[in-house]
Structure 1
Amino acid sequence: MTDPLVDEVPANELVAVLARRGQTMATAESLTAGLLAATVAGVPGASAVLRGGLIVYATDLKCSLAGVDANVLAHDGPVARRTAAELAEGAARRCGADWGIGVTGVAGPDPQDGHAPGTVFVGVSGPDGTEVAALRLGGDRWEIRFGTVCAAVSNLLERLSR
């Protein structure tokens, strides 16, 4: 039986590229609550590249588990570009990985902290620095969470292709 998430997300390609390069990844996930790491883990051979992941759904855990600076959370909030960057950096650092992905946003159906549903930030941190993509995704909670996973995998693949 195949994994529908793995079939629709280029997770197979991500695992293959990381394995070929001898590199690892880790996640710090808010709105996806582990869906990103679970998608990567659905690929045979993922254990060679996936170091781990942090589920930081609650704001205080973004600081205590992922190492997001409390001042960043107080000033920018949990759904912000700098928060995503620090989540990515914290995932890599805390899990001892070459690459970290941090995702934060609003899955809906209601706005959060002044952000509309579908507002998402995806941070990717690696040997060449940290970059953050700001997304506006449409759909229901599942579609927004799934779209975030697709974007995160694609963003890391794009970084690996440079």
Structure 2
Amino acid sequence: MADLSGLAMSLVQQFTRAGRMIATAESCTGGMIAAAITDIPGSSAVLDRGFVTYSNEAKEDMIGVSVATLEAHGAVSRETAIEMAEGALSRSRADLAVSVTGVAGPDGGSAEKPIGLVHMALARRDGPTTHREFRFDDLGRAYIREATVEKALDALIAAG
């Protein structure tokens, strides 16, 4: 596992220099991405806000994920991740918003959506929204969540 603190430090330094801000929309990580960022002194210059949208209702109410999307594709889907990122961006002052939704286990997996499946989206004010799918091994809930935070920080650094 990567050094999350080191990644978050790099992100805060990079975004501070660039004068850019971030928002997060988190389901399976429950706020861990925002927590990793706010562990770094000076993070208030780059983190506008974080949305922890664990339930479908929170996804709908807080960041505008549509009921139709949730019914058609489920909470753990490409479509939901994209709507989460775009909703977080539209409800913030951020330049970039990252979203994650997945199955961290130990329960909840299926053949179509196994434990370790994570969808991540990155929405930008100055560009298109992108999506990535990860299939982490079922090495436990903590591993899947930390690996997801690492991928989100990496994506923000690459996009910043």
TM > 0.5 between the two? Answer: yes
Q: Deviations over 1:84-104 (max 9, x none)?
A: 111111112112211101100
Give the distance between the partners of 2:89 and 2:151, measured in 1 at CA.
18
Say whether the 8 Å CA contact 2:4–2:150 is kept in structure 1.
no
Aligned position for 2:136: 137
Give the distance between the partners of 2:4 and 2:127, measured in 1 at CA.
29
Say whether the 8 Å CA contact 2:106–2:115 is kept in structure 1.
yes
Give the distance between the partners of 1:111 and 1:25, measured in 2 at CA.
30
Offset of residue 17 of structure 1 = 1.2
**Count of paired positions:** 155
* Equivalent residues in 2 for 1:1-162, closer than 5 Å: 5-7=4-6, 10-112=7-109, 114-126=112-124, 127-138=126-137, 139-160=139-160
Q: Report the 3-state secondary structure (helix = DSSP H, G, I; strand = E; otherwise coil) of the residue aligned with 1:95.
A: coil
TM-score (norm 2): 0.92
Q: Deviations over 1:96-145 (max 9, x none)?
A: 21110110000001234641110001111112111011000121000000
Counterpart residue identity of residue 146, structure 1? E
Say whether the 8 Å CA contact 1:53–1:95 is kept in structure 2.
no
Structural RMSD (CA): 1.3
Give the distance between the partners of 1:95 and 1:159, measured in 2 at CA.
18
Counterpart residue identity of residue 104, structure 1? T
Counterpart residue identity of residue 154, structure 1? D
Give the distance between the partners of 2:128 and 2:66, measured in 1 at CA.
18
Identity of matched residues, %: 38
Q: Report the 3-state secondary structure (helix = DSSP H, G, I; strand = E; otherwise coil) of the residue aligned with 1:96.
A: coil
Unaligned stretches of 5+ residues in structure 1: none
Offset of residue 61 of structure 1 = 1.0
Q: Report the 3-state secondary structure (helix = DSSP H, G, I; strand = E; otherwise coil) of the residue aligned with 1:40.
A: helix
Give the distance between the partners of 1:90 and 1:61, measured in 2 at CA.
12
TM-score (norm 1): 0.91
Q: Deviations over 1:68-99 (max 9, x none)?
A: 12211111110000111111111121122111
